[in-house]
Structure 1
């Protein structure tokens, strides 16, 4: 396809309802004195438009603070795909121009940290064409996965990714990398890929989106992630109406019962042995958890862990990751996600605990 008349269109999208962003937030409903900001306007969106020479679509995830006056501050790149250099700078500029109705703390406008938006770099008009040869190779990947020929599947995906230029093709590659990781016994890595691709829902067919959400729900149940699983289930419009849904619903109900019936429960965590650069920005390997309660601790550490990072609406907090130390998240910090970083392949147990009233 020629590039004559083609320009790059830059669009901004909220990451879908705590969808796949590692920075999405979670807490127990009713336990949070804060409300989230609401996007009002992004000046110059869509656009600005710039000439493009590489015919390559992509995105940048931007993390920032929404100030009490609704403006954006402290924007940083949280992740990117097919984007570097000028695109990173442009994405930060685009996100920084947005205006929000501010979040609140106990009813009063307040700064809200760790907000995340995805800035898409898209051809104008959108490039929806997919080369016939790529379609054939995607089918080859599916066949290799069914036959257990994982090395051939990985090699084929590498070749496809080198030829993929639009958001649809990139999303297809990432979804198949997720399936490959699961088949190879790496569910955490598979979930990381799905967290990347599901925010691209607008660039996929409806049935593809629902299939990916079901796979994501299955992995979150396998890994014992109650908040994530509940939120993913809420995104599946026809959950309960397809073959295979009943076991998912039964497992979700069992997990919710475990959480509700115990003051403390453990979740097995593991850092991926290998993490691609587009999943682990700056080489930092993280396992991300959204707590059901407000006190967490680590136990049974195998390998080497580095930090525990709580990214909350009201604060970002880091501490050394060590066993036998409990961290209680103040209610005033609002919703939080907790990231554990360290040496690839390390494993541990995270204890999610509800403390009795003081």
Structure 2
């Protein structure tokens, strides 16, 4: 790690007080909006033609989840085949509700694109990612009284620095994942603050990402908290050497209105990131396999290796714009990615909680 960022942190103890303490009875139908969160970049050859959606079937809202008032989202990575069909669908992240994941995958299997082309020949497009939101229609909504009471109990434990109690109480809050979007945002905020109190930046980043995937416009936590959370995510991504993700976050910061002062504060860090990416320094990224068995990282370089493995890793999968490949996970290999493959993400699959370090290795062409 070549540098770290220290910017504004968010204090969220009183954010929940402005919200309603009851939720209207949910309807059994909802509008679902597939939302692209990472379209293919312009690293493809000039002769390339990107795939275009022909049909995107919206997922059906699971009736059992609607009746319970549950909401959520699912992020998926998928491959567009040479015939425009969608395959190799993988759930990258979600709010943790299996019913939503199943519905999203089932719907995506019926999606159809026009295929990508290079030099007039159809190719696979292997680096596609979307988020499907499951939101219920209805009147004005807020948090349930029971949720608010539990939330305040965790806040009290955190204020007293009783980390063990705060962790126990927060783990009992989620009620098997059946939360609406507002509650999930605040629940993730609690988990982020708890991780911060434990100096666990890996977990903190995960929960901050969950907040911003749920509350994409600051409608739940407010514009000020939204801005602070974007800053915090930028900081955490830098500290974990997730430099491409940090640059993407900065682009989100730039879209905010009346944010010139904040943009100016972050720009020196962006310059440092760009200098690191052009340097001959090896970039070390800490990795930890999630509960569902994998770990994803957007590669900023075209060569990488795995080191310091604690646990069991099974496979390494590359998903690039023009190519996907699957390898056995080893610590004695260096993977070199041709420039023609385009921007890539790597997926490491193994036993839950297995930890390792991914080393991004500079190449001469990237330093020029």
TM-score range, shorter chain: 0.7 to 0.9
Q: Could you tell me how far apart the structure 2 residues matched to 1:104 and 1:174 are?
A: 41
For residue 202 of structure 1, report the CA deviation from its aligned partner.
Answer: 4.4
For residue 331 of structure 1, report the CA deviation from its aligned partner.
Answer: 2.8
Q: Work out whether 1:120 is the aligned partner of 2:133.
A: yes
- Determine which of 53, 66, 81 is the counterpart of 2:95: 81
Please give the residue correspondences for 1:122-141 in structure 2 after superposition, counting only pairs within 5 Å.
122-125=135-138, 128-141=141-154
CA deviations 1:5-44 (Å, max 9, x no partner) are: 72142513325348xxxxxx77xx646665654445434x
Please give the residue correspondences for 1:121-270 in structure 2 after superposition, counting only pairs within 5 Å.
121-125=134-138, 128-142=141-155, 144-162=157-175, 165-202=179-216, 204-205=218-219, 207=223, 208-236=225-253, 237-238=255-256, 241=259, 248-260=266-278, 262-270=279-287
For residue 118 of structure 1, report the CA deviation from its aligned partner.
Answer: 2.7
Cα 1:6–1:302, aligned 2, differ >3 Å: closer, same or farther?
closer
Cα 1:136–1:11, aligned 2, differ >3 Å: closer, same or farther?
same
Is 2:60–2:103's contact at 8 Å kept on the other side of the alignment? no
* Corresponding residue for residue 37 of structure 2: 16
Q: Could you tell me how far apart the structure 1 residues matched to 2:349 and 2:60 are?
A: 36
Q: Could you tell me how far apart the structure 2 residues matched to 1:49 and 1:228 are?
A: 32
DSSP 3-state at the match of 1:267:
strand
Cα 1:37–1:330, aligned 2, differ >3 Å: closer, same or farther?
same
* TM-score, normalised via structure 2 length: 0.74
Q: Could you tell me how far apart the structure 2 residues matched to 1:271 and 1:308 are?
A: 13
* TM-score, normalised via structure 1 length: 0.76
Q: Could you tell me how far apart the structure 2 residues matched to 1:152 and 1:68 are?
A: 53
Q: Could you tell me how far apart the structure 1 residues matched to 2:68 and 2:189 are?
A: 24
- Determine which of 77, 81, 104 is the counterpart of 1:91: 104
Gaps of 5+ in 1: 19-24
Q: Work out whether 1:313 is the aligned partner of 2:321.
A: yes
Is 1:56–1:82's contact at 8 Å kept on the other side of the alignment? no
For residue 174 of structure 1, report the CA deviation from its aligned partner.
Answer: 2.0
Gaps of 5+ in 2: 1-21
- The total of aligned residue pairs comes to 336
DSSP 3-state at the match of 1:16:
strand
For residue 170 of structure 1, report the CA deviation from its aligned partner.
Answer: 1.2
* Corresponding residue for residue 326 of structure 1: 334
My pick for the range that moved more, 92-101 or 331-340, is 92-101
- Determine which of 351, 354, 357 is the counterpart of 2:363: 354
Is 1:312–1:333's contact at 8 Å kept on the other side of the alignment? yes
Cα 1:245–1:155, aligned 2, differ >3 Å: closer, same or farther?
farther
Is 1:9–1:48's contact at 8 Å kept on the other side of the alignment? yes
- Determine which of 297, 301, 312 is the counterpart of 1:293: 301
Please give the residue correspondences for 1:1-80 in structure 2 after superposition, counting only pairs within 5 Å.
6-9=27-30, 11-17=32-38, 30=43, 36-39=50-53, 41-43=55-57, 45=58, 50=63, 52-80=66-94
Is 1:233–1:239's contact at 8 Å kept on the other side of the alignment? no
For residue 230 of structure 1, report the CA deviation from its aligned partner.
Answer: 0.9
For residue 222 of structure 1, report the CA deviation from its aligned partner.
Answer: 0.9
Is 2:31–2:134's contact at 8 Å kept on the other side of the alignment? yes
CA deviations 1:331-354 (Å, max 9, x no partner) are: 333221123444535333513322
* Corresponding residue for residue 9 of structure 2: none
For residue 231 of structure 1, report the CA deviation from its aligned partner.
Answer: 1.0
Q: Could you tell me how far apart the structure 2 residues matched to 1:49 and 1:339 are?
A: 29
Is 2:24–2:140's contact at 8 Å kept on the other side of the alignment? no
